[in-house]
Amino acid sequence: MSLTNNYHIAVPTAFHENEDLNVDATLEHIRFLKKLGVNSVLLCASTGEQHSLNLSEKIELVENLERLDVSSDFEILFGISSIRQIEAKQLASKISRVPQISSVLIGYPPYILPTQKEALNYTTSIIERVNKQAVIYNNTLRTGFDLSIQSYKDLIDNHYISGIKEAGNPQKISELNEVIDSPLIYFAGGEKELEKKICLGYNGLSSIAGNLYPLEVKQWFDSLLKKEDTQDYNLLKNKIDKLFEDSPLPLIKNEISIIENINFGICRTPLGN
């Protein structure tokens, strides 16, 4: 079964003031978004401070998702990425037994710069264990690694890939559309240059600003896909621009605490210093 939502909100992970994981506040924010009409969320990716979480913390998040009590049509994506492949495989095995998770977002490890072959083997080892559809996440700025067009094609031809989140070179989406026949969701990573990315072939949004303006961002995104200009979104775009003027996560977490009346806490330092 393919993903049914081309719009999800990349939710932050909540932490207590001592930087310990706060599962309760993380889940409370997801419940709040769901009540507003959001149909899909992404946990434990870049916005969720993926690489600040150790394996046991990620597993704790996974194990508590049943507490959300959501219907089967509410899509939860969960990020898997690790410098240690063995830990990524352990997390994938855990996720495979959790029905609340619809799909995984497979990211590449930072700093270590795997070869294309090593990255393919890493991705395959996760997919074989997770037994769920996957979205491939390529974010060269954060990892230093860039998945090639051929590697993308090899993965899509041989595995159940339902989407791609290309946060590196947006031009790759145009290239992929020329060599791949499978219908895929191409997720933009955040709202920056969203209009330009849609013109290049992006048809999905992994939203950051949606944590604060979930329905407004979706309405704007849908209007861009339909090439409609019947409504003025300048006010929303100004809010989004202001959000990204500085490090957005500390601001988002503070606003979540105020708007939703929950103690969403802080970022793990050095974020928020």
* One pLDDT digit (tens) per residue for the chain, 273 residues: 578 999 999 999 999 999 999 999 999 999 999 999 999 999 999 998 999 999 999 999 999 999 998 888 899 999 999 999 999 999 999 999 999 999 999 999 999 999 999 999 999 999 999 999 999 999 999 999 999 999 999 999 888 899 999 998 999 999 998 998 888 999 999 999 999 999 999 999 999 999 999 999 999 999 999 998 767 899 999 999 999 998 899 999 999 999 999 999 999 999 988
Cα–Cα distance between 216 and 33 in angstroms, integer? 12
Please give the domain boundaries of the chain with CATH numbers for all domains. Answer: 7-260 (3.20.20.70)
pLDDT of residue 212: 98
Q: Which residues pair with 137 in a beta bridge?
A: 107, 165
Q: Is 47 annotated as a binding residue?
A: yes
Which residue type is seen at 119?
Answer: A
Q: What is the pLDDT of residue 232?
A: 84
Expressed in angstroms, the distance from the first to the final Cα of the chain is: 43
What's the pTM?
Answer: 0.95
229-261 per-residue burial string, b: 16 or more CB within 10 A, e: under 16:
eeeebeebeeebeebeeeebbebbbeebbeebe
CA dist., res. 238 & res. 243, Å (int): 9
Determine the Cα–Cα distance for residues 266 and 252; give it in Å rounded to an integer: 10
**Using CA atoms, how far apart are residues 43 and 135, in angstroms rounded to an integer?**
13
Catalytic residues: 137, 165
The reported pLDDT for the residue numbered 168 is: 87
Torsion angle of the four alpha carbons 219, 224, 228, 233, in this order, in degrees rounded to the nearest 10: 60
For 85, counting Cβ atoms within 10 Å of its Cβ (0-12 exposed, 13-18 middle, 19+ buried), the class is middle
* Radius of gyration (C-alpha) of the chain in whole angstroms: 18
Helices (H), ranges, 131-270: 140-143, 149-158, 171-179, 194-199, 214-225, 234-243, 248-260
The count of other CB atoms within 10 Å of the CB of residue 111 is 9
Q: Which two tokens stand for residue 207?
A: 């939203």
